A and B are shown apart, each in its own frame.
Chain A
Amino acid sequence: MSVLHKKQAQTITDDQQDEEFRTFEIPGLKAKEERKKMRRRTKKVHPPRHLRMRTDQEWINVWPTASTFKWSAVPFPVRQGFVKTQTENEGVIPGKYANAELMKIPNFLHLTPGHIKKHCQAIKKFCTAWPRGLETDESCEKYFPLEVVESDYCVSGPSIRDPRARQVTVKVKLSKLDLDYHARDKMLRLVGNKYNHETDELTLTTDRCPLKKQNHDYAMYLLTALYHESWAREPWEAEKTEADMERYFWDQSKSKSGIISLLTRIKNIDKTSHSEPDARLIPYLPEDVTEETLLLLPELQTYKEAVEDLINEGENHTTVMNYKNSVKKLLNIKTPPS
């Protein structure tokens, strides 16, 4: 290294000796050579894709899935925006190039008839024919009386789980269950407001377990337990009084004993004071008046039905008129000729 330096030093001193003097350069006197501008080489951007598209191309290959609007791939002209005056975009609605509004809105370029046809063909192999014999809603209800309602939820969030998806609703018509009068009555008492009288539907909704499957199982368990509990007859059920009755029964009511004692008294009066049949207060009464014979009378049967209807159905024009007519017939009350 040191040898090299020495050599260089020698050559410099030789040059200086040759020229004798160094020339003095006055700064600014001589025009400097212009520095070449460094220009960044920009790569040529390809022309938009829609210029190279054939008119008979397959659109599904261009736009296979849902995607933001791409102006370069859409071959038709489209504009979006609002222009108020000539100062805004020279009075022209912005076109598709560099239009952020078009990128915001959802587009359906991935759901053209061609796409749908292809989707259908792809999922066709998973489809089965509709079962025979289940063409109508009535037949579906007949063979599948139990209706289970579950929901899945799609939300925009990082989790695909949704707490609302665990809810399971089970619906069944009570007429489809095998229940006698006592079991049906007990079932209605057990379920309370979960039974709809108008549609005869029992609705059980479960959401206490964290998973849908667990809630479904729990609903099935509830239905089974309800059914068997309804059929069970507990010893304390025999202690049911008139106040506990779900509806009015004339046979167990005070009305029955009252009307029988009344009819018996009338018969006694007829026996003692009115010997001829025409003068009797109630001519149709039999000679031996007992509870059994009285209950067989058609007049008393109509009265019984009228009273039951009046109390169970409520007072309306029909029931009140039926009650009036039955009482008139039973007690042989004749309207005086006006």
Chain B
Amino acid sequence: MSVCNPNRMLLLKQPIRSWCMRRAIQTTSVTNKNLRAGQYKSTIHRTKPLTYEETQQPFKIGATKSWNSWNTSNLHEEGRASETTTEDMFIRKFMGGTWHRLLASEVIIKRRHNMIIIACLVFQAVPPRKMYFLSGYTEELLSTFLNCPVKVELQTVKDKKDIIFKYI
């Protein structure tokens, strides 16, 4: 539409014919990349805090940030891709509910043989005694649900400011 606009054409310094031809021929394929999914909207005064994980867009996975699920089910000729994904979703929901308002990062799920290792950052908002209870509770219940040993490997964060990477 803008090409056909006569006012805009007048603004162009170069001959219209050559400009149109250059515009019309496209030799490369169209990039259907969705640049809006999984991105956070910025605020006027740039006051919204984001973690490193949230700053990196989904298409940067494998380049500037790595995956949150580590398993072999997506490799060539390996099965169980759907089961693993469903279990991972369940684990994430479970962690979000059990460690309510305590999680400081995404839940990282690593699978080694039949063992599931859950790693995450948590705030030091509850006393250590409760934290030990919660991790034991998580391990015990998830082991029962998923029929395999589950290990929780936590790291605590003192302040919310420690995980902030950028304000947008």
Contacts and interface: CB of A to CB of B under 8 A. Distances in A.
B102 interface: no
B119 A103 contact: yes
Interface stretch (B7-15, B28-36, B150-158): B150-158
B106 A94 contact: no
Contacts of A101: 52-53, 65-66
B88 to A, nearest CB: 11
Contacts of A45: 124, 156, 158
Contacts of A43: 127-128
A66 B64 contact: no
Contact of A158 (B147, B155, B156): B147
A156 B68 contact: no
B52 A94 contact: yes
Interface size class of A (residues with CB under 8 A): 20 to 34
A109 to B, nearest CB: 13
Contact of A71 (B64, B117, B120, B155): B155
Given A71-B155, A100-B53, A87 B166 contact: yes
B134 interface: no
| Interface-centre pick from A45, A67, A71, A158 (highest chain B CB count, 10 A) | A158
A98 interface: yes
Nearest to A97: B162
Interface in B52-93: 52-53, 55-56, 63-68, 70-73, 78, 80, 83-84
Contacts of B66: 101, 104-105
Contacts of A87: 46, 166-167
Contacts of B114: 156-160
Contacts, number: 98
A55 to B, nearest CB: 24
A82 interface: yes
Interface string B95-124: 000000000111010111110010111001
Contact of B157 (A94, A98, A158, A160): A98
Interface string A91-125: 00010011111011110000000000000000000
A88 interface: yes
B111 A157 contact: yes
Given A97-B162, A98-B157, A158-B114, A82 B121 contact: no
Interface in B36-58: 46, 51-53, 55-56
A157 B167 contact: no
Contact of B56 (A82, A99, A103): A82
Contact of A100 (B78, B121, B127, B158): B121
25 contacts: A43-B127, A67-B153, A68-B108, A68-B110, A71-B155, A82-B65, A88-B166, A89-B165, A94-B165, A98-B155, A100-B51, A100-B105, A101-B65, A103-B105, A103-B108, A103-B121, A103-B155, A104-B67, A105-B66, A155-B78, A156-B71, A158-B146, A158-B147, A158-B148, A160-B114
Contacts of B127: 43
Contact of A157 (B73, B120, B157, B162): B73
Contacts of A68: 108, 110, 117, 119, 153
Contacts of B84: 156-157
A156 B121 contact: no
A100 B67 CA distance: 11
